[in-house]
Amino acid sequence: MADKKADLAGPGIGTYEELEKILPNDYNPILNPKETQRALYAVKNYIEENLCKELGLMMVQVPLIVDVESGVNDMLDRDGSRTPIQFHISNDYNKHPIDAQVVQAATKWKRLALAEYGMKPGEGLCTDMKAVRKDYFLDHDHSSYVDQWDWEKAITEKERNLHYLTKTVEKIWKVIKGSEKHVQKMYPELRTKKYPDLPEKLTFLHAEEILDMFPDLPRKQRETAILQKYPAVFIYGIGWTLKDGYPHEMRAADYDDWITETTSKDGRPMHGLNGDILVWNPVTRRRHELTSMGVRVNAATLKKQLELTGLTHFLKFPYHQAIANGTIPLSIGGGIGQSRTYMAILKKAHLGEVSVTVWPKILKDMCAKRNIFVLE
Residues annotated as part of the active site: 74, 133, 148, 276, 289, 292
List Cα–Cα distances, 355 to 45, 195, 341, in angstroms. Answer: 16, 21, 11
Alpha-carbon span 226 to 209, nearest angstrom = 11
- In the three-class reduction of DSSP (H, G, I as helix; E, B as strand; rest coil), residue 16 is classed as helix
**How far, in whole angstroms, is CA 273 from its chain's centroid?**
15
Smallest CA-to-CA distance from 53 within 198, 189, 178 is with 178
- The DSSP letter of residue 68 is G
Output the CA torsion 23→24→29→30 (10° steps): -130
User: How many CB atoms are located within 10 Å of the residue 52 CB?
Assistant: 18
Strand partners, 262: 270
Alpha-carbon span 297 to 303, nearest angstrom = 9
DSSP 120-153: PTT-EEEEEEEEE-TTS--SSS--SEEEEEEEEE
Q: Give the contacts of 238 (CB within 8 A, at least 6 positions apart).
A: 207, 247, 248, 249, 251, 256, 258, 272, 274, 275, 276, 292
Alpha-carbon span 246 to 8, nearest angstrom = 8
Alpha-carbon span 303 to 214, nearest angstrom = 32
Q: Are 261 and 270 in contact (CB under 8 A)?
A: yes
